[in-house]
Amino acid sequence: MSSSTSSEVVVRTRHLAKAYQLYHNRSDWLKQVMLGWYKTYYKPFWVLRDIDLDVYKGDSVGILGRNGCGKSTLLQVICGMTLPSHGELRVTGRVAPVLALGATFDGELSGRENIMIGGAVMGLTRAELLDKFGSIAEFAGIGDYMEQPVKHYSMGMRTRLAFAICAHVEADILVVDEALAVGDATFQRKCLEWIDSFRAKGTLLFVSHSPSEVRRLCNRAVWIEDGRIRDQGEPRTVARAYHRALAMEKDDIHRFSASE
């Protein structure tokens, strides 16, 4: 159960599952397009399996798990970047997805132009974006690069720009996927301070490989393993169990294999 005082569910999943289609070669993909009604020409790779999750308004939920366990895919489904293969999903409120926005920047356009496009996609009007532009640019702190094509940005600079936009959209739900890991120490502190203020009024979904960050930012932790929820609850307890598993349980490389 959530430790949030709210009883309003803003994210609910029931039996949520996601599979990607893996093809041996391009001809199999073409066969699937043309003859898929008759025969399957791909192997399903199940990234998420039977996820039941309720996130309450005001929750700060940290998601832990090994590489490839399905953490990021779960957030992508919640953000609407990809559709689930099975199950139910309901999201209530405006979502600010740092992971999604940074991944969809147009590399040929400048930072300024991507702010206008990214902000508009998340529901801000042109007038609002022009009014907030100075504050967004100051938060990003990338100087003259703001007028340069994003294709020349480092990953850290892209993250700075994406986080700065998301910090100004007045979202109900903030989705952060390892964004702090690629920023420098000064920018990380700025983001953490902003997240602290956001948590007072919004809902946070936060993926990290750092249990200390989850304990610091979240009132609840969810541990994903092999596409399923293995444990959830108080962050310190879940993080301790996760660390114990990392130390004692062998990392199974077969989790990266598609089913027959």
φ, ψ at 106 (rounded to 5°): -85, 115
pLDDT at 5 over 60: no
Pairing mode of beta strands 228-233, 220-225 = antiparallel
φ, ψ at 75 (rounded to 5°): -65, -40
Q: Which two tokens stand for residue 118?
A: 């990214």
Identify the CATH class of 9-93+172-256: alpha beta
Q: What is the mean pLDDT of the chain?
A: 87
pLDDT at 155 over 80: yes
Strand partners, 22: 43
Domain boundaries, the chain: 9-93+172-256, 106-170
Dihedral angle sign, alpha carbons of residues 174, 177, 178, 183: negative
Instruction: Give the pTM.
Output: 0.82
What is the residue whose two structure tokens read 């990234």? 47
pLDDT band at 2 (very low <50, low <70, confident <90, very high): very low
